[in-house]
Amino acid sequence: MIKPHGADVLLPRLVTDVDKRRELLAEARELPSLLLNSAAAANAVMLGGGYFTPLTGFMNLADSLSVAKNMQTTDGLFWPVPVMNLAVDVSSIEGAARIALRDPNVEGNPLMAIMDVAAVEDVAEDQLDTMTEQVYGTQDRDHPGVAVFRSLGNYCISGPVQVLNLSYFATDFGDTFKTAVEIREEIARRGWETVVAFQTRNPMHRAHEELCRLAKERLNADGIVIHMLLGKLKAGDIPAAVRDACIRKMVDEYFPENTVMVCGYGFDMLYAGPREALLHALFRQNMGATHLIVGRDHAGVGDYYGPFDAQAIFDELPQGGLEIRIFAADHTAYSKKLKRVVMMREAENHTPEDYVILSGTKFRQILEQGIAPPPEFARPEVAEILMAHYRSAAQKSKD
């Protein structure tokens, strides 16, 4: 199986030993507390589950700036996006060497982790500007990822963590949420060696389905891991529970048994385009995938990135930066001529009229009106789940 990034074995920060957990939980009651923001909480979940191997905790300012500028930490580890614990106010932990980190996304703000505080640093506006520009490629506050990042605060709290709680992901998505440790174990149990990962924050339409099938066939892969984001999205995106139901229905109906794993991870979407594509590849290597499908406008939003920037950035990787490889995909669509889904760059003698293509906006409009999308675009079983979601949402808005 492919090695984890920067380590021989996964290094999850989740404390699973019962006695150690009991000891840490008792200690936390006496420690100063910091209420995390959702972005930092998501980083803690990824650290806990081993997805961010070999990191042991949150980056300091020097590492964060180095990662933003050079895609490596100050000691040379390849990393594409800073993993930070930023805060607006640190008065509650002033002078503390060890603190309790609390969950902002669960009622009552339960304990999430214990952190050894290596440093609490002021982050200047020009340093935030640098990180924003380098990671997101823009300073535009209308970019949803930029808007979130610039709201997190000017204090950087760094240091190793011991994670005790994987937030709402483990409870709300019990059948879907999996740590990198659990996915590696399942891949090993199935005897898969060549494994294709598919990233999604949306329900999978027929084009996505065929892309997974094409990648598996062309790479002679043993299996596919459809790995969906379960964390926070921008307004208007379809909720995780609905996406989960759609994807599971598609897999059950249209893929052979034991060729696909459906699971999810607890992270908030960054919409950082090329840089986020690299992060997606890194933590898929940690979970055991040998290949990641990177398609048109991967992890993008609006018109901030070129359609294939997220593929081109992999050419900039330093030697040995990542072992995982990408399956570079073109835009896919249903060909009326060939009566199947194709990658458009491979379809000869086609005009735009030869394809069935719906924009995301048009697709949502159709569903909101209660109209079934064309079967060439969405499987009818999947479309029905989506239509029910939009009918319910429309009814709630009326009430």
Percent of the chain with pLDDT over 70: 98
Please give the average per-residue pLDDT across 122-143, as a whole number.
98
What is residue 356's predicted lDDT score, i.e. its pLDDT? 87
Distance CA 191, CA 213 (A): 19
Q: Given 202, 213, 296, 364, which residue is catalytic? A: 202
- What is the tally of structural domains in the chain? 2
Q: Give domain status of residue 100, yes or no.
A: yes
Residue 263: band (very low, low, confident or very high) from pLDDT cuts 50, 70, 90 = very high
**Domain check: are 276 and 301 in the same one?**
yes
Bridge partners, residue 162, by sequence? 114
**Domain check: are 77 and 134 in the same one?**
yes
Q: Residue 203 corresponds to which tokens in the numbers above?
A: 């329900």
Please give the average per-residue pLDDT across 64-73, as a whole number.
98
User: Which of 167, 196, 231 is the endpoint of a domain?
Assistant: 167
Q: Give domain status of residue 5, yes or no.
A: no
- The residues, any chain, with a CB within 8 Å of residue 169's CB and separated by 6 or more, are 45, 177, 230, 231, 264, 265, 266
What is residue 83's predicted lDDT score, i.e. its pLDDT? 98
pTM summary value:
0.94
- The residues, any chain, with a CB within 8 Å of residue 338's CB and separated by 6 or more, are 347
Judge whether 12 and 53 are in contact, CB under 8 Å: yes
Q: Give domain status of residue 13, yes or no.
A: no
Residues 10-67: tens digit of each pLDDT: 999 999 999 999 999 999 999 999 999 999 999 999 999 999 999 999 999 999 999 9
Please give the average per-residue pLDDT across 272-287, as a whole number.
98
Closest Cα to residue 285, out of 190, 195, 201, 202? Answer: 195
**Domain check: are 236 and 335 in the same one?**
yes
Q: Given 21, 98, 190, 201, which residue is catalytic? A: 201
Q: Residue 222 is part of a domain; what is its CATH number?
A: 3.40.50.620
User: Which of 118, 149, 167 is the endpoint of a domain?
Assistant: 167
**Domain check: are 229 and 304 in the same one?**
yes
Distance CA 343, CA 332 (A): 4
Q: Give domain status of residue 70, yes or no.
A: yes
Judge whether 274 and 309 are in contact, CB under 8 Å: yes
What is residue 269's predicted lDDT score, i.e. its pLDDT? 92
Residues 191-204: tens digit of each pLDDT: 999 999 999 988 88
pLDDT higher at 289 or 231 = 289
201 is catalytic: yes
Judge whether 80 and 30 are in contact, CB under 8 Å: no
Q: Is the pLDDT of residue 227 over 80?
A: yes
Residues 201-212: tens digit of each pLDDT: 888 888 899 999
**Domain check: are 201 and 150 in the same one?**
no
Please give the average per-residue pLDDT across 5-12, as a whole number.
97
202 is catalytic: yes
User: Which of 121, 139, 167 is the endpoint of a domain?
Assistant: 167
What is residue 360's predicted lDDT score, i.e. its pLDDT? 63
**Domain check: are 197 and 323 in the same one?**
yes
**Domain check: are 130 and 40 in the same one?**
yes
**Domain check: are 301 and 219 in the same one?**
yes
What is residue 230's predicted lDDT score, i.e. its pLDDT? 93
State which residues form the domain around 120. Answer: 18-167
Closest Cα to residue 164, out of 283, 9, 17? Answer: 17
**Domain check: are 79 and 216 in the same one?**
no
Percent of the chain with pLDDT over 90: 80
Please give the average per-residue pLDDT across 353-366, as a whole number.
78
Taking only Cα atoms into account, the Rg of the chain, rounded to an integer number of angstroms, comes to: 21
Distance CA 345, CA 360 (A): 21
